[in-house]
Structure 1
Amino acid sequence: MKALIAPLTAIMLVAACQAPTETAPASTEPERPMDEIPVQMTLANGDRHYSFKSGCVVMLEPRRAVVKSETGACALHHRDIALLYASAE
């Protein structure tokens, strides 16, 4: 009986190692909308322009992290992200 346990264990181990595994496809989009990195531009007048994939555009004053305007489909996290990036500049 002991002579059968070792070969059976080895066969099961090899079979488990060779079994195909399914992995989730890598996503190119952030899983959470608040993880999105905006496209940043500085306009000729100095205003800082942050645009998001949803169409939201947040415009900040040149020298201070103060929202000048918002256009498009903006959510609260879009303003927060723009202010966070502006505070680092």
Structure 2
Amino acid sequence: MCDQCDKLEEKISHYRLFLNQRFDPLTEERIRALIADLERQKETMHSWATLLSLPEQGSKGRASDSLLPAKRSLVCRLLALSRR
């Protein structure tokens, strides 16, 4: 995963730990909504990264995936910048 996805996963884990504690129903609902939003952001990043990281055909007809991690990272950074 890229850095942005790692940060999102850390936030998701952090908020899930909060749900183990007892809160009023409204607070729990808001925490669940926040977790769902973070998971949607992560899915969006991965769907774009997957689409743009389809293997390119090399000179011998094999997929050249040496640039795939760089492409995924770039897509995640661009998506993060677009949300600012």
If the TM-score is normalised by the length of the shorter chain, which range does it land in? Answer: under 0.3
Structure with bigger gyration radius: 1
Higher relative contact order (CA 8 A, sep 6+): 2
Higher normalized strand content (fraction of residues):
1
- Choose between structure 1 and 2: higher helix proportion: 2
